[in-house]
Structure 1
Amino acid sequence: MGRAEERRARQRGGRRAAPRRSSGAPTGGAASGRAAARRAARRGRTGKGGIRRLFTWKKLLGAALGVCLLGIGAFIVLYMMVGVPQGNAVAQQESNVYKYSDGTILARAGKVNRESVSLEQVPKAVQHCFVAAENKSFYHDAGIDLKGTARGLLNTLTGKGTQGGSTITQQYVKNYYLNQDQTVTRKLKELVISLKVDQQMSKDDILAGYINTSYYGRGAYGIQAAAQAYYRVDAKDLTVEQGAYLAALLQAPSQYDWAVASDTGKKLVRQRWDYVLDNMVEQHWLDAAKRQAMKFPVPKEPQGAPGLEGQKGYLIDLADKQLEAQLMKQEGITQAEAEAEVVGRGWTITLNIDKKKQAALEKAVEQQLTSKLDPEKRKVDADVQAAAVSVDPKTGGIVALYGGEDYFKHYYNNATRKDYQPASTFKPVILAAALDEGATTQDGKPINADTIYDGTSGRQVVDHGTKVGFGPPNEDDVSYGDITVQTAMNKSVNSVFAQMGVDVGMQKVMDVAAKLGMDTEGMQPVPAQTLGSMGASPLEMAAIYATLDNHGKKVTPSILKSASNRSRTADIEDPIGDQVISREAADTVTSVLTGVVDDGTARASVRDNPLRRGQQVAGKTGTSDENKSAWFTGYTPDLVTSVGLFGEDAKTHAHTSLAGATGLIPGSGRINGGGYPAQIWAAYTFGVLDKTSTFDLDTTQGAAVQPSWTPSATQSPSETPSETPTSAPPTTSAPPSESPSQTPSDAPSQTPSQSPSGTAPSTSEPPDDGEDGDGGIFGNRDQLEDRQPSR
């Protein structure tokens, strides 16, 4: 029966297993059992059972212990081999050499500003500031932070930069015995030396070494130099409040320097200052009541170092900052470490600055502006700050820069400051966004140079039938009726671009602004931004217009050509990046902006300038409503230059009006973008260009391809508009581009109370739109969302 059942089972395909045989079954059943056993064994070797036998907890524990023993052994060997080297903090300091693009010397800078003091000369409470800021367990630890060091090693191995913590002892070892290199070898040496230093030196000696070798910014190494640089006192006379600020500085010296810090930088350093004092209370080093009564100690104004007078300090300041940023990216070091690695570390830094162009820019500012300023006669003249950045759009190199009257007299670099509003120089960004995004008007018509908008002053902006609560007036409340985008750009009509911004979508506008080169972090995408009510620097505006000039390929202006020292060479990134907006969009904006020069707000200073010689120019003026800033950013195919004038109270440094400066009649004597900024631009640009060139544009739109005026080298600079537009009701059709005999926009005539000297093409501020939109009608730009424009 058994064999019969097996046969039937096989015939049924094994759907029913044959019954088991007893131990005394025939040989065939035994063979089947052995085969099954072999199959089970194979499954055991390849299945979960085999994995469990391979990775048992005993084997894993043994492997882990083996790795630990190897690590301990390796560390013992390393500990025995690595000794405490001779200190080299002073030996590491060497002057940096800065050169023009042609290799000639610009300056030597970096003479060590250091004077070591004993710990007894530093008040105990000030000593505690540094411990509270950097390493609360300093007095009790063994000199190292294993968790922080392990994190730092892991970050280095994975290329994530330096995010691990280090003790005061480790930082002292890095400053005095080693360097800022971010390698595993250096970090392991730092660990070993820190342990040995902690055993061989007292905590007071380590703390003294740390505060005497750290870099505090303003070229100051050590607490004595820092006390003098920031508070004009010796270290022994520092208060707790001042000591807490110096301790806070060590995290990011330049960013936290109150004299040049952005609003964000000031907020961060105040938070860091609070952190230091609160930690002191926590450690019972400071009475809580005294802590509550403490006020932030605003540092003194910086003083320039010898050899950095004139424009040199501004050029070196930007070169150092860009090199620091490069090292942070290239080597993964922190900002504080990068600053310590740049200042006085024997770098040979070649700039993109063209010696002849730099001299020409300085001369243009002097002849067109500063020679006309007389602070003794007019208080407002002392409040005028000038800035300019000139960029080669094909290479991205900064070829000339004007940061202020003198680095010794005005430490803040006007060329890189971001606290003034660019006003109508932002309008081309709105048009670029519209063209690149293929945006349409509310009724679905594509936005281009010929699109018709309602230019009525104060017209409420509409978003698909809903008023958005924003209706900016045009300059002097002039209404233009139905006009083309080209004419609206020429005349800088606020109402048109406010509506266009909503048509495109303000988030898209701000996204395109970021692509073009503006720092938009923290900016709200609200309609008021269409008036250029954000903060921006001349360097940023030069970047935006250089990207337009470069047919939409990103230009990130760089002052650095090369940089190297004995230990390494910085990898300077190519300033020319990827295509960020389409060529057609960029070229169309350029074409439209030629109309601003030839038929618009810049014509008196640029179009009619006797130095022009037929050179094709695109550009845009900008004048804030309260006249706190005035701009002209313009370009030729070969050169982009942004010029800004800023009203800054000479004593308080608060923003103030430029009106009346150089003797222009107060009230009507507004400083416009088409005036001194455009005059400086023209004197510089037309003076350094050795050839006449035209734009290579891939577009069928705009004034460059549909001109209403042809440049002529024989045009007299004395030609002025003969009629002034008045408020008018909307027309039913788009007018043609206006002839030069019509006043652009609405600017009042401006007559100086005395004849200015110099070689300006005009003896007064030429007519200009005076445009618009700084948000002066809104007051503080931080309140943009809460306040409405005046009617």
Structure 2
Amino acid sequence: MLGATVAFIGMSVVAGLLVTAAVTPAIAVTGIAANNSIGVFEGLPEYLNVDQLAQPTTIYAKNGDQDVPLATFYSQNRLPVAFNQISQAGKDAAIAGEDPRFYSHGGVDIQGTVRGVLSTVAGGGVQGGSSITQQYVKNVLLQKCEALPVKTKEQKAKYQQCVDDSTGVSPDRKLKEMKYSIGIEKKYTKDQILVGYLNIAGFGGSVYGIEAAAKYYYNTTAAALTPAQAASLIAIVNEPTSLKIDNPESKTNGAANGYAKNKERRDYILQKMYQYKKLTKAQYDEAVKTPIQPVITPSERGCQTAGGAAYFCDYVQKIILNDPTFGADEDARTSTFNRGGYKIYTTLDLDLQKVAEETIQSYVPSSYAKADIGGVLTGVQPDTGRVLYMAQNKKYSQDEEVLNSSTDYSSINLATDQKYGGSGGFQVGSTYKVFTLAEWFKEGHSLNESVNANIRTYTKFKNSCDGDWSGTYRPTNDSPGEEGIRNAQSATTQSINTAFVSMASQLDLCEIKKDAEAFGVHTAKGEPLDTNPSSVLGTNYIAPLTMATAFAGIANNGKTCTPIAIDKIVDAAGKAVQAPTTSCTQSVDPAVANTMAKALKGPLQGGGTASGMNRTGKDMLGKTGTTEYNDQLWLVAATTKVAGAYWVGNIKDHVDFRKVYPTHGTSPASARTAVMRTMMSAAVGKYGGDDFPEPPSKLTKGIQVAIPDLTGKTPDEAKSILTGLGLDSADGPQQDSVAPAGTVSATDPAAGTQVSKGTVVTIFTSNGSMVAMPNVVGQKAGDAQAALTAAGFKVKTVGGNSPTAIVQAQDPAANTPVKTGSQVTLTLSAPNPSPTPGAGG
């Protein structure tokens, strides 16, 4: 009784003020005071800012020239419509059911309010009586609350206070609502208020506005609503939780009622529509006979609706959530994304996406009994940075229960950096060797230049970033027989580890890192790239999209464009919003990039590690990568039009990808060529490709130098001479030679050969075991035999044995290096005849 009395007194004050302030609609609208008791009411704020309604955001992809919806996001499923896009039945049902005197009052229905006061006293709580305008005001205030973040305890408390202030049952709140309503009626027409109300009202669950409600409950539009459908929807507004009709087994106050409660309210509204002559008797009779038969049509939301493109969708969403353009912090950006009604037009090419999805699904199973493995195909446009495709072997889900129950699903985008929903990245193996190539050419070395690829221990590397590295590092190769002297082209074609470490030992590890960074390379976690010697062979953890971007830069004459996934954004009002843009940087000089491209054509050709991949007839570069123990595999390739990366690897556990056969009866190591052949062939088929520019000869052949004759020099003298000519040297084994023991006996390449600067010249030293064959041709046989015998040679004669015979030829020939004791064959002429005595007379 005490509570009812207090409520009565409070609401009586409200009613009294309203009677004073709004005896007639005209007085309420003009705000003319009848007496001083209006002072308290007039002191309340009148202006209410009506913010933009929360609307769904839609992401689009490219299907040829068409932009097609990929996924929709919303906190409130709302599709705002104009006044003329709502059927007359919808408008009439709202007015008849909620505010019959809507077009005659000034924002507050005095009769309804007084009735609400009496109901309050009878029921012991503040009851209805709110006009459509008042309900509109309450919803506008509530919308402001819904935009607030609710993560922390303080935020939740602030949100709840806002809701209480907007929807509470206190007389104070009711007064403010009424004052705002009078202000709204001064600013807007009745039709504007009515359509605003129908667009903002809640229709149960996450369905807001009459258009979304018509689609969800009846699979129709607001413009096509029949009287029965319109009244059924307006009925939900009265009690959204208990009167919504998407569950026939719903309960109210513990009792199952199916659609009965909605029908009861619907028929009441229909009766009011008939009472106010908005329906004929026939229309009314037909409507009330119509059963409640919803056609529930859910509006699916989130990236899981994007199928195989879900990870690209997730990437786009993370781009927005990381961009300050859309809010000061992640909470604000999330609210903007889910409520802003944006149309986000992306770069995704559904033709290539389809090929990527089918290919990755064919070669990398979503689950595998021996290990948890992942696979990614992703590609970009070199001259724009536009991401064209992004496919993953795992099915996308954000449901913890699903993720915990099956390795088929993942919430992690394995193609991207961690801050975009990706992983911590993966070691990239030999694909990282391209950055040693970049520095090699920048420093003036050539593609034809040789290096010492023998297995050896290194103790020092130059590193101007972190101080020179010292220690012991002994790299090996993937296969035996790859040692020896190799030029840069051979090292690249066959991906020889020891050759690239040898090249890096002549360079600065810091500069190699800077070259990688210039091509947009960074770790997936955002940590600095390592610069230790093993990093040359790809030990940094990098995302596939990053490697595709770097190879795109090589193919684009050395200009790298950062990846972008969004072409344009339009807000709910149709106004363009600034989308993240690409940034293109000249990573290396075009001449260097073009030489890199020439080198990287090698792996795709005969004898290369990805031999046979390119069957398009277009220039294509590429590089394989295999980490230690064969647990991460890569193949990155590019034309001038499309660059793509393929990664397959262990997520958990470990399998050797050369010893398992999950699909096609072949190992992933062998299959990667087929995977990228399929993907890049499709890319070339749609986008074509141009020839890579021919690099300058100084970077392919290098500056030519003639190797000098170093015979007889000490090894140190020989190395000094070679260094002065810009040539490198390597020690060869001792060999039989006429040169003094320990001196240079020969070189490879031989003296007089034209070679590129930087070429490794192998120096052979003499063991002193040979002598030069003496020249005895033209001597008398006796003299020649005596000389050769004295020198330790065995002599054999041909053509006679007269000591006076003349040596016509010898074998071995004069000056031929031979060992002492060797046999010499002498070819002799006939001996000279004795003189004939003169005759007597």
TM-score by length of 1: 0.49
Higher relative contact order (Cα pairs below 8 Å, separated by 6+ residues): 1
Q: Who wins on radius of gyration, i.e. which is larger?
A: 2
Q: Decide which structure has greater strand share.
A: 2
